[in-house]
Amino acid sequence: MTAVEQGASLAKLTTIGVGGPARALARPRSVAELREALGFARAEGLGVLTVGLGSNLLAGDAGVDALVLRLEGELAAVEVVETGLIAGGAATNAVCLHRARDAGLGGLEFACAIPGTAGGGVVMNAGAYGRDWSDVLVRALVVTADGEKWVTPDDLGLAYRHSALGEGDVVARVECRLGRRPPADIRATVAELIAQRKATQPTNKRTFGSVFKNPAGETGAGRMLELCGLKGHRVGGAMISPKHANFIENADGATSADCVALMVEARRRAREEFGVVLEREVVFVGLPELPPLE
């Protein structure tokens, strides 16, 4: 059985850098070790939280009463095949993209500025520039305490920043279909997309990516919150990014409570000014749902 650590800090496992301790942490390196860890959680009556790069997670200050899983070893490996990639659930987008580019395989460029993993990408159906994981995914190996099975995008119900996967469903492997593209063209597209990102979003700050999903209609969540005058608004150590109002930065020792307070205020203002109820994109762990708007 893979070793179980006690009290690992979620602040160290998330890009925003806030959050209390995990009840337990395991780092399975193979599907067999993953099955063991899931069996252990079930036997102990513990919930399971799989953490990729923690780039879309806000964890409560009191921590998370669950077995946190960080996939490693062969569950983070990337294999290039004729038609695309087979990536471990914990393979980072950056590594997937580089391996694909070197093999002359294009299609993952959209993920160049998404600091997550293949597994987190599928669970969130992460995307940018009009494409997302559902465009490249052929199938994913989902492991639970009961067994393992390959599932298709249809089975996963992928939609805008949504999949039907639940707690205890672990994406151990991802198979994606890519097309032939010269590495120089891939490099050029990536350079252009990264430059766009740097111009519009806080890429060198501690954040968890977009706070809210974009509501239906023309005005995105960021623009709405900017029009509400919230850029630079602070609660404690957390601040609405002065560069893009749909990001919260850990400006100076932020707590999870600071981030939640900003989200509550942002939703209140968006409702007041635009009549829109913003829905969070960031995944909450060890936190209650945001209070309903009056």
Ligand X SMILES: Cc1cc2nc3c(=O)[nH]c(=O)nc-3n(C[C@H](O)[C@H](O)[C@H](O)COP(=O)(O)OP(=O)(O)OC[C@H]3O[C@@H](n4cnc5c(N)ncnc54)[C@H](O)[C@@H]3O)c2cc1C
Report how many residues bind ligand X under the rule CB under 6 A: 33
Is 210 annotated as catalytic?
yes
3-state secondary structure the chain: CCCEEECCEHHHCCCCCCCCEEEEEECCCCHHHHHHHHHHHHHHCCEEEECCCCCCEEECCCCEEEEEECCCHHHHCEEEECCEEEEECCCEHHHHHHHHHHCCEECCHHHHHCCCEHHHHHHHCCEECCEEHHHCEEEEEEEECCEEEEECHHHHCCECCECCCCCCCEEEEEEEECEECCHHHHHHHHHHHHHHHHHHCCCCCCCCCCCECCCCCCCCHHHHHHHCCCCCCEECCEEECCCCCCCEEECCCCCHHHHHHHHHHHHHHHHHHHCCCCCECCEEECCCCCCCCC
The piece of 29-37, 116-124, 215-223, 232-240 that touches ligand X (CB under 6 A) is: 116-124
| Binding pattern for the stretch 177-206 against ligand X, x by CB under 6 A and - elsewhere | --------------------------x---
Is 163 annotated as catalytic?
no
Kindly state whether residue 209 participates in binding ligand X, applying the rule CB under 6 A. yes
* Binding test (CB under 6 A) with ligand X, winner from 19, 21, 63, 89: 89
Residues 222-241 that bind ligand X (CB under 6 A): none
* Binding test (CB under 6 A) with ligand X, winner from 31, 175, 176, 207: 207
Is 167 annotated as catalytic?
no
Kindly state whether residue 144 participates in binding ligand X, applying the rule CB under 6 A. no
| Binding pattern for the stretch 44-73 against ligand X, x by CB under 6 A and - elsewhere | -----xxxxxxxxx-------------x--
Write out the residues near ligand X by the rule CB under 6 A. Answer: 15, 49-57, 71, 89, 113-117, 119-121, 123-124, 126-128, 161, 170-171, 203, 207-209, 283
